[in-house]
Amino acid sequence: MKYVRLTKQQLEELHQEFINFLATQSVTGDEWKQLKEEKPEVAEDEIDVFSDLIWEGVLNKVVYLENVSDKQMHLFHCTEKEMKLISVKVMNPEIDLTTTVGFLWFKKNWQSDFVEYLTASKAYTEDKNLDKFNLIKQGAIITKGELYQWFDKIIETS
């Protein structure tokens, strides 16, 4: 398995897609029930393959990722050839970026001496989807990129 198995809830939400996946392998509903009972390891393998296919589809579409902790934001733009990073660090010990109050403070004070910025870019390894997945495993979430784009515009004009 390349990524991670979908949760039971995710599999339930993708029930129809899983049925279609089994159909492409000429597995009927009855055959699936029989497979689960008589060869559970084969059924588990099918779920793993399906999970990887779903992850590949999702990761192919990822353009922006964000990982926000109490004192830092790591904003990623996943381009065709590389990942671009805007890193923000808040040095005010009283501020927690994961709270509404902390984020509002940041929006007002983003130019203060209590905030540091860093930009970087990194070429993908041989498997860019796995690179994206590893960021997700570390806590990043898929976003529409509004925060990254806002910072990117600020950086361009300064």
Tell me the per-residue pLDDT of 98-138, one tens digit each, with 9 for 90 and over: 999 999 999 899 889 999 999 999 999 999 999 999 999 99
pLDDT tens, per residue, the chain with 158 residues: 999 999 999 999 999 999 999 999 899 999 999 999 999 999 999 999 999 999 999 999 999 999 999 999 999 999 999 999 999 999 999 999 999 999 999 989 988 999 999 999 999 999 999 999 999 999 999 999 999 999 888 877 66
The pTM of the full predicted model, rounded to 2 decimals, is 0.87
Q: Kindly report the three-state secondary structure assignment for every residue of the chain.
A: CCCCCCCHHHHHHCHHHHHHHHHHCCCCHHHHHHHHHHCHHHHHHHHHHHHHHHHHHHHHHCCEEEEECCCEEEEEEECCCEEEEEEEEECCCCCCCCCHHHHHHHHHHCCCCCEEEEEEEEECCCCHHHHHHHHHHCCCEEECCHHHHHHHHHHHHC
Residue spans per domain, the chain: 8-61, 64-157
